[in-house]
Amino acid sequence: MYFYIYDSFLQEKKYKRTISKIETRLATLDISGSKRRLTALKSVQEIVRSLSKNESPTIVVIGNDQTFCKAATAMAGTDSVLGFIPVKKDSEMAKILGIPVNEYACDIVSARRVEKLKFGEVNGKKFFSSISFNASKTILKADQKYQIIPQKTKKIKIVNLDLLRFNKADESEDFKRIASNPKDDYLEILMGRPGKKFLFFKRKQELDSLFFVEKLEIKPKKSKYSVDINIDKGKDKIQAPATVNVSNQDISIIVGKDRLI
């Protein structure tokens, strides 16, 4: 049984035509299903939890990366399958999972090529894509073996599933580091300088350190420091000290042929 969760921003008039094309394509492929709409009162987590009670449902998110990540974490450990129809052209999850945007994604949902992917966990709270925080006030302890002490570094990103926009460490080498691997038991730590925008001035993000860890402790350098850890590029935050590791629960996700994972 297919269930479609429509993101709240799709109620805007400008998306009417896109939605109509998606629904027509789903009907053509004979994979139409029950619809649920996100509102201010109904969160994606609530909807996913209630739909997961059905027998082996396929839940498809029509919307943006943040909603998709929230749906994924809410589905952890269930036997549901998650699909994604991105409607934003800049969707990074779409690039990683090899899914085209808008109605073209319906064919990927219909083909049902499923991969099992893992989650990251920060203080027991799951994240699907990445967490990030300010580097200048933190010390990291990796796998109980070594400390990573940021000195001139400003930003730290711990990645389960994301694109790795990475500086070439050596110009002579052809770096093939495009996306992280969410199927192994490791998380990627990226460190560097964040991008900045000020009036017409724009500085690109520069990440120049990369580590692979199984378990990581994030601690403030001084007890008086407060460090906010931002989860999945959304509004959810938790405070350090925190322990980060790969979750033992996974999720089945529909992916495309051109996926990067």
**114 sits near another protein (criterion: CB under 8 A):** no
Residue choice 58, 91, 129, 153 for contact with another protein (CB under 8 A): 153
**191 sits near another protein (criterion: CB under 8 A):** yes
Question: Based on CB atoms, which residue is closest to another protein, 63 or 100?
Answer: 100
**33 sits near another protein (criterion: CB under 8 A):** no
Residue choice 98, 194, 220, 234 for contact with another protein (CB under 8 A): 98
| Cis bond upstream, residue 86 (ω within 30) | no
Among 138, 210, 209, smallest CA distance to 181 is for: 210
Which span sits near another protein by CB under 8 A: 46-54, 86-94, 171-179, 217-225?
A: 171-179
Residue choice 178, 226, 228, 248 for contact with another protein (CB under 8 A): 178
- Contact status, residue 191 vs residue 150, Cβ threshold 8 Å: yes
**95 sits near another protein (criterion: CB under 8 A):** yes
**179 sits near another protein (criterion: CB under 8 A):** yes
Residue 72 burial by CB count (10 A; 0-12/13-18/19+): exposed, middle or buried? buried
Question: Based on CB atoms, which residue is closest to another protein, 35 or 116?
Answer: 116
Which span sits near another protein by CB under 8 A: 22-30, 101-109, 163-171, 235-243?
A: 163-171
Distance CA(167)–CA(191), nearest Å, equals 11
Secondary structure letter of residue 104 according to DSSP: G
Which residues does 144 contact at the CB level (< 8 Å), separation at least 6?
Answer: 215
**212 sits near another protein (criterion: CB under 8 A):** yes
End-to-end CA distance of the chain: 27
Residue choice 103, 121, 188, 232 for contact with another protein (CB under 8 A): 188
Dig out the tokens for 139 from the structure.
């010390």
Which span sits near another protein by CB under 8 A: 56-64, 125-133, 146-154, 222-230?
A: 146-154
Dig out the tokens for 115 from the structure.
């991969």
Question: Based on CB atoms, which residue is closest to another protein, 12 or 174?
Answer: 174
**177 sits near another protein (criterion: CB under 8 A):** yes
- Contact status, residue 204 vs residue 231, Cβ threshold 8 Å: no
Residue choice 209, 230, 243, 249 for contact with another protein (CB under 8 A): 209
- What are the phi and psi torsion angles at 88 (to 5°)? -110, 130
**111 sits near another protein (criterion: CB under 8 A):** no
Residue 162 burial by CB count (10 A; 0-12/13-18/19+): exposed, middle or buried? buried
Residue choice 112, 116, 169, 237 for contact with another protein (CB under 8 A): 169
CA neighbours closer than 13 Å in the CB half-sphere of residue 216: 30
Residues that bind another protein (CB under 8 A): 95, 98, 145-153, 164, 169-170, 176-181, 184, 186, 188, 191-192, 207-212, 257-261
